[in-house]
A = this chain, B = another copy of it.
Amino acid sequence: MGLVVGVDVGGTVTKAVLVDGDRVLAHASAPTPRPGPDVVGQVVDVVSGLVGELDPAGDADIGVVVPGIVDEARGVAVWSENLGWRDVPFAALLTDRLGRATAFGHDVRAGGLAESAAGGGRGARDALFLPIGTGIAAALVLGGRVHDAGGYAGEIGHVDVGHDEPCACGRRGCLEAIASASAIARRHTARTGRAVEAVDVARLVGAGDADARRVWEDAVDALARALAWTASVLAPEVVVVGGGLSAAGALLLRPLDEALRERLTFQRRPRLVAAELGGLAGCRGAALLAAKRSALC
């Protein structure tokens, strides 16, 4: 197996790694272009620049992942709410621009693949990767394979957990409208008038702040509902919690685990662990897609 570059086009930052097998040799990043009429061309430019920076000789295999609804089989980014595109044939555009066949996939599913291969989900046949950041999505690694459902799988952020907060998708009650890092920050600000990030709310919870506790408990309760449902229907052995909120560690995982004990009876209760690959899970996964593609050719 040779050198591989994996690129993760995020909502605000695009990250890339150069890997050789399991070893990360270098990484680089650049701001993701803002949504606009030429966002696709600009994203291709940014990816091309990062690949050139990490692999000046042009030898490496390339994998690129993006957010939203991604149809891996067709190599098409079907929809991104944050970046504002629809039906973009990214695999073909990138292959054309980079002059090499490029593996193309979905950020969260690629992250789940990486956490399963070399992170918190190591050794489990059935795992759920749950990054909690601006939004919440899941990667389902079932029987050792990533379930994609034509790109539509894993939208756990938009299940109805029974509350009245409006969501960007147009509905009320969605998990991510109460339990994402941005929802936690927004809801604390709404109670107190102070501008905060989710990490500040976590610190205030530790310090016993009543507003922070209330917001945190609402988030934990909603996550527990969603995970109890997942345990009943999919029965993963492990849930790997990632994204910005996973930095809260035991403050998040311990009450979640207690709530799951209460909610489950005969079902298989998953282990809850923090993700291990941090912000690089997506580009590590992109590199895995490229290596897998290369092994098949």
Contact = CB atoms under 8 A, between A and B. Distances in A.
Interface of A: 69, 79, 81, 126, 138, 140, 142-143, 145, 147-150, 152-156, 158-160, 162, 169-171, 225, 228-230, 232-237, 263, 265-268
Given A158-B267, A160-B229, A229-B229, A153 B69 contact: no
Q: How many copies does the complex hold?
A: 2
A170 B267 CA distance: 12
Contacts of A233: 138, 140, 153-156, 159, 229-230, 233-234
B263 A155 contact: no
A12 to B, nearest CB: 21
A204 to B, nearest CB: 30
- Secondary structure call for the A interface: loop
Contacts of A143: 145, 147-148
Contact of A267 (B148, B152, B235, B236): B152
A232 B162 contact: no
Contacts of A268: 149-150, 152
Contact of A159 (B69, B149, B152, B229): B229
Nearest to A153: B235
B149 A126 contact: yes
Among A140, A143, A145, A233, residue most surrounded by chain B Cβ atoms (within 10 Å): A233
Contacts of A232: 155-156, 158-159
Contacts of A79: 266
A253 to B, nearest CB: 21
A171 B263 contact: yes
